[in-house]
Structures are given as structure tokens and as C-alpha cells.
Chain A
Amino acid sequence: MSAEHHLAPETGPALRVKAMEALLREKGLVDSRAIDLLVESYETKIGPRNGAKVVARAWVDPAYKARLLHDATAAIAELGFSGVQGEDMVALENTPDVHNLVVCTLCSCYPWPTLGLPPVWYKSAPYRARAVSDPRGVLREFGLDLPENVEIRVWDTSAEVRYLVIPERPRGTEHMTEDELADIVTRDAMIGVAKV
């Protein structure tokens, strides 16, 4: 008998989740294999690499960037990214004068199709409270010290629209291919707590 089967019984939320899934399965409301596939999708396929491709495309193609700023949902869908929690997208362009920062104070809404699921800190009470009350301090805590003359715009995702920050393209990247550019775009830069 293999050792893996002698696991301690789960407690707390793990047990509750197991019970809920068992009941839903018994009632024919969920198919556990479908749950497996969803988990796999969000763990391995749907993530910030998607958003990075959008940003890289915007950096190299001014016409695409214009479409992205005009109708982000459609422009993002051009690259094949769409769906749950990305049905109504708005792209926010960072410039030398304006830096955008995204938060959801109510419940951590986040643009899943472009960024995947939010990181732990994005969902935390301190981030949700301080992003709106002390954004410059929050950015400093992330290691981003913006000059005082740069305007910070904080976007509270309180309704159906989901926001994607388009960070500034760094200098010295003129020679890079679109794929190479996508490689340097980070999730944190697309939330607005970092620059590329």
C-alpha cells in the first residue's frame, strides 16, 4: 500500500470544498473533470503572458495602439484573448506625465483573460485601502519612486469595466522584436505598481 494514501483527513476549508464538490457532483450540477480543466486553464494557460503580448503589439504597431485605446475589448480579442472578466476592457496608457494604477476596493476584480488571476497582495486589505488613499506611498513600497510632477491616476474597478495598464516602453528597446518585448512586460507593470 503506497504511503500517499495515508493522508490526514482535511479540515477547515479543504473539507468544506470537498463536501461541496461531492454534493454538486451527486446532484449532477458539476462534472469534476470540467473543474479539473478549469483549474488547469487558470494555473497554466490564462496569465499575464497574454497581456504582455497586447502591450508589445501596442508598442510596435501605432495603429493597433490606437484601436486598443479606442476599444480595448475588440483590440484584445484580435490577439485571441477574451472571456470571463474581460468582457468590457479599457486600456490605460502610461505617459511621462501620467501613471495609472488599478485596484478593486470592493472585492479584487481583475482582468482575467489578459492577466490571469490576481496576486495575493492585490487582494489584500492594505493594498485595497492604501491604493486609493496613498498611491504614491504604495508605489514606493513596490520600489517605484515617481517624480512629484507625475500625475497618478488610481482606477477603482467598481463596476463591469476591467482595466489594463499599458506601461511606457523603456528606452533602449528599439532593436527588440515583438516577442522579445512581450518577454519584458511584467504583470506588475500592467497593474501599475511597476514600470517595465
Chain B
Amino acid sequence: MSRIPDLGAVARIPSKDGEPVFQAPWEARAFAMALRLFEQRYYTWQEFQDHLIAEIASPGASADPGQGATMGYYEHWLCALEKLLSEKGLVVADVLDAKISELASAPAPYDEDPSTGGVPEAHSN
């Protein structure tokens, strides 16, 4: 079994014990959305965990125990959340896919700040 991935991840956001809490902003959003929806009782934490456990245990999930697993945890988290929300009828898969296509084809410049809803700010050239 391979070595445990090195503790020294790239220190982008300084934290008490030397490594960032999240490796990318999307991880933070995915984490907080799952928690927020739980806090509002759209599902129980056990239900979310069920899906997370299933994603982590799925074949191929640990194919690359080094870098892959390091980057894979929040991918699993996101998949779990997508499946749970679809199961609950809150965000069904085809609607999500349509939104993804819509955002993918949105032209730059594009305001990346998620809290503004992705609405491009007015620019004066």
C-alpha cells in the first residue's frame, strides 16, 4: 500500500497547522452548500454521509492513492451532493447539466464572484 500523501500541501491559505483548509475555492463552496442545506433540514447528515461513503467506496475511487486521492475527496463530496439533491428532487440532473452548459458557454469577461450570482458587472471601456 502506498505511502500516505505528504502533509505539505501547497500553503495557499495560511492555517494554524500550515496547510490550507480547502485546496481550491470550489471545494469550499461545495462543502458549505452541503452543510447549509443540512442546517436547513433538506436532508439529514446521515443521508449525505450515506452518499459520500458510497462515492468513496465505489470501484476506481481510490485508483490513485497518491495525488488522485488527495484531489479526489471533494470530487466525491460533490458527486454525493449532486446525487442526494437529485434524489430529493431539489436539483435534478438534467437541469444541472443545462445550467452547466449555459455557464460554460458564457462569454468572458465574467465576474467570478459567486456571491453576485455570476452576473457580469457593468464595465465602462
Kindly specify which of A94-102, A113-121, A163-171 makes contact with the partner chain. A113-121
CB distance from A130 to the nearest CB of B (A): 6
Interface residues of B in 1-60 (CB under 8 A from A): 1-7, 9, 13, 15-17, 19, 21-26, 28-33, 35-40, 42, 45, 49, 52-53, 56-57
Q: Interface residues of A: mostly helix, strand, loop or mixed?
A: helix
- Indicate which residue in A11, A42, A49 contacts B31 across the interface (CB closer than 8 Å): A42
Interface size on A, residues (CB 8 A): 63
Given contacts A30-B37, A34-B36, contact A43 B118 (CB under 8 A): no
- Indicate which residue in B2, B65, B73, B96 contacts A20 across the interface (CB closer than 8 Å): B96
Determine the chain A residues whose CB is within 8 A of the CB of B104 once the complex forms: 9, 11, 15
Interface size on B, residues (CB 8 A): 73
Given contacts A15-B103, A36-B115, A120-B73, contact A24 B17 (CB under 8 A): no
One digit per residue, 1 when the CB lies within 8 angstroms of any chain A CB and 0 when it does not, for chain B 90-104 equals 110001100110111
**A10 to B100 Cα, complex, angstroms:** 10
One digit per residue, 1 when the CB lies within 8 angstroms of any chain B CB and 0 when it does not, for chain A 21-53 equals 111110101101111101100110001110000
CB distance from A42 to the nearest CB of B (A): 6
**A162 to B21 Cα, complex, angstroms:** 19
**A34 to B29 Cα, complex, angstroms:** 11
Given contacts A14-B24, A107-B56, A124-B69, contact A117 B31 (CB under 8 A): yes
One digit per residue, 1 when the CB lies within 8 angstroms of any chain A CB and 0 when it does not, for chain B 73-86 equals 11100100110010
- Indicate which residue in B21, B22, B39, B100 contacts A15 across the interface (CB closer than 8 Å): B100
CB distance from B61 to the nearest CB of A (A): 8
CB distance from A2 to the nearest CB of B (A): 9
CB distance from A53 to the nearest CB of B (A): 12
Interface residues of A in 45-94 (CB under 8 A from B): 47-49, 84-85
One digit per residue, 1 when the CB lies within 8 angstroms of any chain B CB and 0 when it does not, for chain A 112-141 equals 000011011101111101100110001001
CB distance from A131 to the nearest CB of B (A): 9
- Indicate which residue in A30, A39, A123, A138 contacts B73 across the interface (CB closer than 8 Å): A123
**A111 to B83 Cα, complex, angstroms:** 25
**A24 to B89 Cα, complex, angstroms:** 12
- Indicate which residue in B32, B91, B123 contacts A1 across the interface (CB closer than 8 Å): B123
Name A residues whose Cβ lies closer than 8 Å to a Cβ of B: 1, 4-11, 13-25, 27, 29-30, 32-36, 38-39, 42-43, 47-49, 84-85, 106-109, 116-117, 119-121, 123-127, 129-130, 133-134, 138, 141-142, 186-188
21 contacts between A and B (CB under 8 A): A5-B109, A5-B121, A9-B110, A10-B26, A19-B99, A19-B100, A20-B99, A21-B33, A24-B90, A27-B90, A33-B115, A35-B114, A36-B115, A38-B35, A38-B36, A49-B16, A116-B15, A119-B7, A124-B69, A138-B4, A141-B4
